[in-house]
Amino acid sequence: EEQLKKIREGQFHRCTGSIRLNSDATDVFFSQDTWQSFYSGFIRIAKTYLFNFQFNQTTTQQITFSSYPGYFFSIDDFYLVHNKFEGQQSNLAIMETSFYTFNTSLYDEFMDKNGSSTLTWMRCQLSNLFSMTAEQWVASFGTAQSYTYNNN
């Protein structure tokens, strides 16, 4: 309850990102920032997953992200993705800024007809695995939205 109070009052935020093109638009610079207590920051680790799943769009997947022990995703919402398919390769940087949803009475409105939805972190990791382009990533991430973590 105390954390929710801080969030409502604008005292608790987690992360944000920044993107900038160079002057001739041939390169992009990006940064991601996460604000945590000293202890929380102390146990953070960088993870890299290497897969060779055979999907329609990708056959080799490398996902690097900031995380914590025991997590299968980046709670910081920051990923570097290097995928390959039929001799081509792609490099994607994924980051976001979150907005909290305080009206829990709305949660039922966002379930599908079976009363379920796909959590944001799952949709993100699946999009990371399946996508060679930014357009593919956005289309994949946009399916089965839960709207409970407003980076949809």
Of the pLDDT bands very low, low, confident and very high (cuts 50, 70, 90), residue 129 is very high
Task: Fill in the DSSP letter of residue 109.
Answer: G
CA distances from 94 to 17, 32, 39 (A): 10, 10, 25
Single out the residue of 147, 149, 130 nearest to residue 138, CA to CA. Answer: 130
Q: Which of 122, 114, 110, 121 is nearest to 147 (CA)?
A: 110
**CA atoms lying within 13 Å on the CB side of residue 43:** 8
| Whether the predicted pLDDT of 135 surpasses 80 | yes
Q: Residues 39-92: pLDDT tens digits?
A: 666 788 899 999 999 988 889 999 999 888 888 888 778 899 999 999 899 999
Q: Is the pLDDT of residue 30 over 90?
A: no
- What pLDDT does 12 receive? 55
Going by C-beta distance under 8 Å and a sequence separation of 6 or more, which residues neighbour residue 32?
Answer: 15, 16, 17, 18, 66, 76, 77, 78, 95
- With a CB cutoff of 8 Å and minimum separation 6, the contacts of 146 are 110, 117, 118, 119, 120, 152
List the chain domain ranges.
2-141
User: Mind listing the pLDDT tens digit for each residue in 45-58?
Assistant: 899 999 999 988 88
